[in-house]
Structure 1
């Protein structure tokens, strides 16, 4: 069962995130006037509930790279801006992409991103931490989706942010989603250093035959 701390963290985060989006669109009535935005809320709540049973945590474990904690602050700022600005620009018709097709494409990408974000957490369970850390009993997972890319959950994070922006037809939101690459790459490099130090040749061999995020590209 999820810990009270994780429940509180997940619920508060979701309420703040969705609340900013509703505020950006001018209130509940305006926000829920379009079914695509309603779908975003339903999907977000569903993903939040599912995440509570994934086994993920925010524990520093046995060893942590504390020097990488700055990325959490950057993710938080980008997340808050990403919650509010796409909704606001959608309402103001500022730098928007045309048509409901874009909205529903965004919803679809958001779903894919959410699944990719959570699936690896369920696979890793307690080994998945919000911090760059080695957990008790930590072992490498190198099969399944991890047999192709080393950071599928981060692909999900990017896809989710992009899908959210597109659901609001927001060009600014797309830019914010792409800005997540900066702290994300820094986090990936910190994780790789820690894992290479912990697992040595085993991790180096795994890294040599897989990709960080996108097969054939990065």
Structure 2
């Protein structure tokens, strides 16, 4: 039951992101990092598909302590993910879009971390596959996501510097 809920959550994120993209562009938003965005989409689709494929092909033992710990992390990660979405409001997006003149958000989870959503993605990238014992997917996604995040963080930090510099 976890995978359908997670997939539904991702689809809801796409709906929210598209709505917020229209909002941002109507206010003069500028998108950064268009080149890496399709790679990110493919990686996240492959992540969910990889879990399903690994469940089907690998015969892994059920380890209750691992499953329940991983499930707790997934649950908490999703609570914080939606806290991020709520905190950023229409500025939240799966794309890097900066609307000129808007202040940097420094409350909610952004009070403690500049990019809390990426910490969430990393935690869930490990935990969600481990709910099912899909450690190969957890490992492959973690490595691929780290490479992608190195590009994504540079892009986003550059965009934020431009947006907040006088």
TM-score higher than 0.5 here?
Answer: yes
Unaligned runs of 5+ in 1: 1-37, 202-218
Whether contact under 8 Å (1:56, 1:128) holds in the other structure is: no
Whether contact under 8 Å (1:63, 1:133) holds in the other structure is: yes
C-alpha displacement at 1:55, in angstroms?
A: 9.7
Distance 1:54 1:40, change over 3 A: same
Whether contact under 8 Å (1:56, 1:121) holds in the other structure is: no
Query: 3-state SS of the aligned residue for 2:103?
Result: coil
Question: 1:73: which partner in 2?
Answer: 38
Whether contact under 8 Å (2:83, 2:109) holds in the other structure is: no
Pick one of 77, 85, 88 that aligns with 1:121. 85
Question: 1:105: which partner in 2?
Answer: 69
Query: CA deviation digits over 1:49-107, x for unaligned, max 9?
Result: 588679962346324344x122222222222221122222233226x575233223222
- Cα distance in 2 for partners of 1:117, 1:106 equals 16
- Cα distance in 2 for partners of 1:63, 1:50 equals 19
In the alignment of these two chains, the number of paired residues is 162
Whether contact under 8 Å (1:78, 1:176) holds in the other structure is: no
Counting helix residues as a fraction of each chain, which structure ranks higher?
A: 2
Pick one of 82, 89, 94 that aligns with 2:54. 89
Pick one of 85, 92, 98 that aligns with 1:134. 98
Question: Is structure 2 residue 30 aligned with structure 1 residue 64?
Answer: yes
Unaligned runs of 5+ in 2: none
Question: Is structure 2 residue 31 aligned with structure 1 residue 45?
Answer: no
Q: RCO (CA 8 Å, sep 6+): is it higher in 1 or 2?
A: 2
Question: Is structure 2 residue 149 aligned with structure 1 residue 184?
Answer: yes
Question: Is structure 2 residue 130 aligned with structure 1 residue 166?
Answer: yes
Pick one of 113, 116, 131 that aligns with 1:152. 116
Question: Is structure 2 residue 164 aligned with structure 1 residue 199?
Answer: yes
CA RMSD of aligned residues (A): 2.9
Query: CA deviation digits over 1:22-64, x for unaligned, max 9?
Result: xxxxxxxxxxxxxxxx134245536755886799623463243
TM-score, L = length of structure 1: 0.62
Distance 1:173 1:56, change over 3 A: farther
Query: 3-state SS of the aligned residue for 1:157?
Result: helix
C-alpha displacement at 1:191, in angstroms?
A: 1.4
- Cα distance in 1 for partners of 2:56, 2:100 equals 48
